[in-house]
Amino acid sequence: MAIQPVDLRQIDERAANIYEGIIVVAKKARKINDDNKIEFNALISTIPTTGNEDESEDIINPAQLKIALEFEKREKPQIQALGELLDGKIEYRYKEK
């Protein structure tokens, strides 16, 4: 996976300033990550466990491994959030006092 440079002027065009744009992307990335965790835990909880719950043994569960690999292949939350900001899919506003 190669590192893709981001032109900061693109972020500056989508937000009031570059710092606000980065804060918006960070908050959206946290939201995406939280949603991914909830989805992952829901999928993992549906997998039946073996009767042997010995912590000293490492048992490889193929169904659990398949789910974990699927989540690893997904785009990282910060990249996904940045893409949404640059595509104009994120709208934000200031909190009123």
If you write DSSP's letter for every residue of 46-87 in order, what string do you get? TSPPPS---TTS----HHHHHHHHHHHHSPPHHHHHHHHHHT
What's the pLDDT score for residue 48? Answer: 79
What's the pLDDT score for residue 2? Answer: 75
Residue 7 lies in a domain: no
What's the pLDDT score for residue 57? Answer: 57
Residue 82 lies in a domain: yes
pLDDT, mean over the chain: 88
Per-residue burial over 28-50, b if 16 or more Cβ lie within 10 Å, else e, is bbeebeeeeeeeeeebeeeeeee
Residue 52 lies in a domain: no
Residue 35 lies in a domain: yes
Residue 11 lies in a domain: no
What's the pLDDT score for residue 97? Answer: 80
Tell me how far apart the alpha carbons of residues 82 and 51 are, in angstroms, rounded to a whole number: 44
Task: Using the predicted structure, report yes or no on whether residue 56 has a pLDDT greater than 60.
Answer: no
Residue 23 lies in a domain: no
List pLDDT tens digits, range 6-46.
Answer: 899 999 999 989 999 999 999 999 999 999 999 999 999 99
Residue 24 lies in a domain: no
Domain count, the chain: 1
Structural domain span for residue 39: 30-46+61-97
Say which residues have a Cβ less than 8 Å from residue 55's Cβ, sequence separation at least 6: none
